[in-house]
């Protein structure tokens, strides 16, 4: 089974690609340039060079794929007026429809709610308020990306977390929804990647947005 990964050279993306290969998937990765590609990938990953804002490059990366994972996150990216990730997500969704791909898995934060099941705690409400006001560009990017996906009629899942930490996988202690539960504030890139990979065949969270933490 072929899986296309966007954001493959990010810390989570690299962990994800390694995990997908370990599980026996064929991986197609859209990367900005050869210099960004980890040496360990060798010939195991099919590379497409280009940007997410280039619809032709996105379309090429989707050919022959059966599922899509988008790990791109607006928070660490340089600021500009252009909502490039929203634009790119639109290209991905349009391409998936053209190629008949149904399964989309993306990443998000608790800043934007997609879940009517949630009962945000005071801490989550404060986090959302600060995000909207301290980093409005990243907030608009994330909200726009999720709006595109949620309105796509695809079989989507958004994996949400607050902060990403380094180190080896420790195992997730929380998978659920923000509210009275004991959701933590961080998860390792390795654990996020492993959970994301399992969602390719998982059906429990289709058109839902579970939160994860260590």
21-52 tens-digit pLDDT = 999 999 999 999 988 898 889 889 999 999 99
Chain center to CA of 192: 10
pLDDT at 186: 86
Domains in the chain (CATH in brackets) are 2-213 (3.40.50.720)
Chain center to CA of 168: 20
Rounded CA gap, 3 and 64, in Å? 9
pLDDT at 27: 98
DSSP string, 124-164: HHHHHHHHHHH-HHHHHHHHHHHHHHHTS-SEEEEEE-SEE
> What are the backbone angles phi and psi of residue 174, rounded to the nearest 5°?
-140, 125
Rounded CA gap, 28 and 133, in Å? 37
pLDDT at 181: 62
pLDDT at 143: 84
Q: Which residues contact 184 (CB under 8 A, 6 or more apart)?
A: 162, 173, 174, 213, 214
Exposure b/e, 11-49, CB count within 10 A at least 16 = b: bbbbbbbbbbbeeebbbbbbbeeeeebeeebeeebbbbb
pLDDT at 106: 96
pLDDT at 78: 53
Check: CB of residue 178 under 8 Å from CB of residue 124.
Answer: yes
Rounded CA gap, 161 and 175, in Å? 10
Q: List the chain residues with pLDDT less than 70.
A: 75-82, 111-118, 120, 127, 130-131, 133-134, 178-182
């Amino acid at each position: 089974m072929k899986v296309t990964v966007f954001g493959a050279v990010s810390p989570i993306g690299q962990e994800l690609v390694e995990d997908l290969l370990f599980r026996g998937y064929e991986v197609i990765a859209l990367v900005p340039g050869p210099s960004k590609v980890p040496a360990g990938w060798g010939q195991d990953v099919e590379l497409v060079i280009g940007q997410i804002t280039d619809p032709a490059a996105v379309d090429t990366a989707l050919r022959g794929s059966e599922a899509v994972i988008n790990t791109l996150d607006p928070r660490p990216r340089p600021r500009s007026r252009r909502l490039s990730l929203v634009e790119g997500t639109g290209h991905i969704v349009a391409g998936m429809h053209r190629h008949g791909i149904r399964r989309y898995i993306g990443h998000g934060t608790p800043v934007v709610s997609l879940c009517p099941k949630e009962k945000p705690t005071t801490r989550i409400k404060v986090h959302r308020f600060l995000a909207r006001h301290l980093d409005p560009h990243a907030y608009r990017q994330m909200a726009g990306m999720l709006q595109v996906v949620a309105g796509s009629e695809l079989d989507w899942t958004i994996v949400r977390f607050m902060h990403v930490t380094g180190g080896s996988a420790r195992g997730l202690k929380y998978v659920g929804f923000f509210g009275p539960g004991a959701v933590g504030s961080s998860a390792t890139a390795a654990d996020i990647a492993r959970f994301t990979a399992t969602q390719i065949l998982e059906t429990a969270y289709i058109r839902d947005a579970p939160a994860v933490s260590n």
